[in-house]
Amino acid sequence: MEGISTNASKCESLKFYSYLCEKVGSEEVVKIRRLAFIINDMGQGFGYGTITSGSNGEGLDLKGSDLDIMVIYNIFKVYESEKEVVYDSLPFPLVMNTEETQSCFTLLCNLYGNFWPFGFNAISYWQTHPLVCMLSSEQYRQFNMHISNLRLAELKLPSIAKIHGPCLSSFDDELDTVLCLKCDQWICQVQPWVRRPRTAWPSPEIISKIIYCGVLFVPIRCKGSVNEDLEWRISFSVAEKFLVYSFSHAQFLCYGLLKILLKEIIEKHEDLKGLLCSYFLKTLMFWISEETDPNLWRPDNIIPCFMACVQRLLYCVRYSILLHYFIPDNNFFYSRFTVMNKQTLETILSNLYERGIDCFASSETLKDFQRKHYMPTHPFTQKYTDEKIFTGSVFTKHEFTFIQKHVLNLMKTENFYTVLRSLKIETLMFGPKSAIIPEELQLDNTWTYTSYHPLPFAYFLGFLCNYHLNNIPSCICFIKQLLLTMITDSVHVNFPTVNTRIMCGIAHQLMVQTSMAKIFFREAASVDKYKVTSAATRLSRVT
């Protein structure tokens, strides 16, 4: 990130920055999104404070962005010690006990013994541990879901579907609501965060605002704890919102890019789903931002900045270390990975880093940038369009797409020569032991017919030609375009789709990228249940 940028790289960064402003949102658009949620928070709550968090609350509006609503339950008020308690009828005081918990977690004690505030003695809200009465996080969640469903039923609205972590989640998983508790003080566990050395971010003004807002508590336990039904996690959602809002727009776009990388590329690998999460990426951004000069996060330096973020993520995975930003005693990556998924994740991140921003070639959100600026296409393959693809088979009944029907109607008015030039492109079919199929694909062509999509097959041939000429840069270019077809191809025929993955696996195997080859062969083999293709055989032969 600290390297000297050339004029060419600055120009590319500025192009990419402008493109991201269109796709992710300009600085002005992001401000408007945030303002809309702030106004909504001020007008909601019905006596309770509400905080909109999640990607939407931070100003992102990407595919799959979540919306989290934190409702501060003002019947209770949390204090760090008994000395600070203000005895009143309401809010009902609870005192933290962190002696028996892991860092970032606490127990909440009822100082009144067997006395409970009105409405909470009819359920097992409290548990004795061993002599002190504790507020149960598990019973708290269950009770709140029950009450919420009753209220929604009165309004004839759908009930809450499930408990998801500390949240009550809607049926479609698009809305998470958590009823949290609040402590007005900045607790002693996070006092070191205020004093620790840093460059210039966050500013003293932001730190002061964060301290003033205190901390929250959400009803979720530490896995494996003996007190798991009683524990509450200390939440810094308000502080994190201040920090994200203080990002420069280049920082914010890098944060958005990391989320796209996770959701649209890394998590396409089924065995890696859930291994990383958005909160880890946010934590990563906080650490990098604190350690670097804020002046580096500029529009003309956004590509090096983003690549530094990917490199840091790779480092964290490789050494299994990502510390909590506010309480570094808590390592998120401690015992998180198995040997297998750690190796797979490392390999994928290494390959993504080596490819630079071309790593977004298979991203649904950013794929068109690759075609505009980084993926020069051969004149022959430019003629290949979705409107010309025949999606059916002569043996089965299929309907044309809307676009194909529209093109067909337009063709009725054209002359015969124009119609001939616009003939459909059919799936390529090779008979058993075909003499014209490349040697690298002959394993699939020994006893049955084999079919391929035309465009991926053309890119694979381009790769093979350059591979045998030892033209490695062109090989890499054709592999990128081959990967892109797996996302953009509109054809949905079973075996050609499987064969595209096999071709990707072969290409990576020839380039001595064994781990990536295994991933593609494994994906193909999982679809090919009857072992019609060579996917399973090739997977078994990869060493």
Per-residue pLDDT of the chain (543 residues; tens, 9 = 90+): 544 456 778 889 999 999 999 999 999 999 999 998 888 777 664 456 788 888 888 999 888 777 788 888 888 899 998 888 877 767 788 999 988 888 899 999 887 765 555 555 544 566 666 667 888 888 887 777 666 666 666 656 666 556 666 666 665 566 677 888 999 999 999 999 999 999 899 999 999 999 999 999 998 877 767 677 789 999 999 999 999 999 999 999 999 999 999 999 999 998 899 899 999 999 999 999 999 999 999 999 999 999 999 999 999 999 999 999 999 999 999 989 999 999 999 999 999 998 888 889 888 899 877 544 444 445 444 444 444 444 444 333 445 555 455 555 655 665 554 554 455 556 788 888 888 889 899 888 777 788 888 888 989 999 999 888 888 888 888 888 888 777 554 434 456 678 889 999 999 999 988 888 998 899 888 888 778 888 999 999 887
Cβ-proximal residues to 253 (8 Å cutoff; 6+ apart), any chain: 17, 20, 21, 24, 302
Q: Which CATH number fits domain 427-541: 1.25.40, 2.40.10, 3.20.170, 1.10.10?
A: 1.25.40
Cis ω on the peptide bond leading into residue 202 (within 30° of 0)? yes
As a whole number of angstroms, the distance between CA 237 and CA 55 comes to 12
Strand partners, 429: 451
Half-sphere exposure of 490 (CA within 13 A, CB side): 16
As a whole number of angstroms, the distance between CA 425 and CA 431 comes to 18
Burial class from Cβ neighbours inside 10 Å (0-12, 13-18, 19+) for residue 487 reads middle
CA 225 to chain centroid, in Å, comes to 28
Class for the domain spanning 44-238: alpha beta
Three-class HEC string of 130-196: CCEEEECHHHHHHHHHHHHHHHHHHCCCCCCCEEECCEEECCCCCEEEEEEEEECCCCHHHHHHHHC
As a whole number of angstroms, the distance between CA 414 and CA 38 comes to 57
* Region of 113 on the Ramachandran plot (φ > 0 left; ψ -120 to 50 alpha; else beta): left
pLDDT for the residue 266 = 95
Under 8 Å between Cβ of 289 and 252 = no
As a whole number of angstroms, the distance between CA 540 and CA 543 comes to 8
Nearest alpha-carbon partner for 45 in 73, 85, 86:
73
Under 8 Å between Cβ of 349 and 310 = yes
Burial class from Cβ neighbours inside 10 Å (0-12, 13-18, 19+) for residue 422 reads middle
Q: Which amino acid is residue 35, in one-letter code?
A: L
CA 381 to chain centroid, in Å, comes to 32
Which DSSP state fits 294?
G
Matching residue, tokens 């490199």: 311
| Domain ranges within the chain, ordered by starting residue | 7-35+248-362, 44-238, 385-424, 427-541
Architecture of domain 7-35+248-362: Orthogonal Bundle (1.10)
* Region of 40 on the Ramachandran plot (φ > 0 left; ψ -120 to 50 alpha; else beta): alpha
Under 8 Å between Cβ of 152 and 145 = no
| Coil, helix or strand at residue 258 | helix
As a whole number of angstroms, the distance between CA 42 and CA 31 comes to 16
Under 8 Å between Cβ of 353 and 311 = yes
As a whole number of angstroms, the distance between CA 120 and CA 238 comes to 28
